[in-house]
């Protein structure tokens, strides 16, 4: 990673998946190129902000032409690491874990779900999206014999720290935590703490503002 990329603001990084999704839709429509102005209308981001965002990674556009949609889509995919073939496990096969495992996002975005774990004897041995749920007792053994890049945690709050430490100690470098508590590790472990109620509260705020 270059020194320039290290300084990319978090808000810019969070916009990259939106660019990626929209460019993917353009590809499906067989659209070959798009200007920053046209992209700004669709993304609700100013054209100057789009150009500034992309300049953190080298620009990608040509003056008078705009952006080659396929090239930009592939470049953003590379920046996001979507072409690296990251492997993923889900720990916690309750309602949320089952929903995540059943979603087609993993394969569509280049992630491979390789394992699902739980401690409920009524769930262990069942299959979700073709993957058999294993006992949590086998987690470390599995991690030590398989390459796993990302751990998705949908376990109760009381169990999240212990589970996260097992994943990290076995070499997992990225954690997505849905357990309503904040996880934080050193700089070598990437963590995304996801609080599902936050978008609802934001939506409630917007509704209230619209009513004023």
Query: How many other β-carbons are positioned within 10 Å of the β-carbon of residue 33?
Result: 16
- Asked if residue 92 belongs to a known ligand binding site, the reply is yes
- Asked if residue 95 belongs to a known ligand binding site, the reply is yes
Q: Which of 113, 109, 118 is nearest to 100 (CA)?
A: 113
Which string of b and e fits 84-106 if b means at least 16 CB within 10 Å?
Answer: eebbbbbbbbeeebbebbeeeeb
CB 194 within 8 A of CB 170: no
Residues 6+ apart with CB under 8 A from 24: 73
Q: What are the phi and psi torsion angles at 60 (to 5°)?
A: 80, -20
CB 133 within 8 A of CB 102: no
- Asked if residue 97 belongs to a known ligand binding site, the reply is yes
| CA 206 – CA 180 distance, rounded (Å) | 23
| CA 163 – CA 62 distance, rounded (Å) | 48
Instruction: Estimate to the nearest angstrom the gap between the alpha carbon of 128 and the chain centroid.
Output: 20
Known binding-site positions:
92-97
The annotated binding site for NAD(+) is made up of: 92-97
């Amino acid at each position: 990673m270059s020194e320039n990329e290290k300084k990319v603001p978090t808000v810019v990084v969070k916009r990259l998946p939106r660019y990626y999704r929209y460019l993917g839709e353009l590809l499906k429509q067989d659209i070959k190129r798009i200007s920053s102005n046209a992209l700004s209308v669709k993304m609700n981001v100013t054209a100057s902000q789009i150009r500034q965002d992309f300049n953190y990674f080298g620009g990608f556009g040509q003056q008078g032409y705009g952006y080659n949609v396929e090239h930009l889509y592939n470049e953003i995919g590379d920046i996001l690491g979507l072409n690296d073939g990251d492997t993923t496990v889900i720990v916690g096969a309750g309602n949320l874990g089952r929903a995540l495992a059943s979603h087609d996002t993993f394969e569509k975005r280049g992630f491979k779900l390789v394992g699902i774990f739980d401690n409920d004897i009524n769930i262990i041995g069942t299959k979700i999206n073709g993957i058999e749920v294993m006992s949590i007792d086998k987690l470390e053994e599995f991690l030590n014999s398989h390459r796993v890049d990302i751990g998705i945690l949908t376990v109760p709050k009381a169990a999240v720290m212990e589970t996260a430490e097992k994943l990290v100690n076995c070499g997992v470098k990225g954690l997505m935590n849905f357990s309503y508590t904040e996880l934080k590790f050193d700089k070598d472990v990437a963590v995304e703490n996801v609080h599902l109620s936050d978008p609802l509260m934001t939506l409630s705020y917007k509704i209230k503002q619209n009513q004023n």
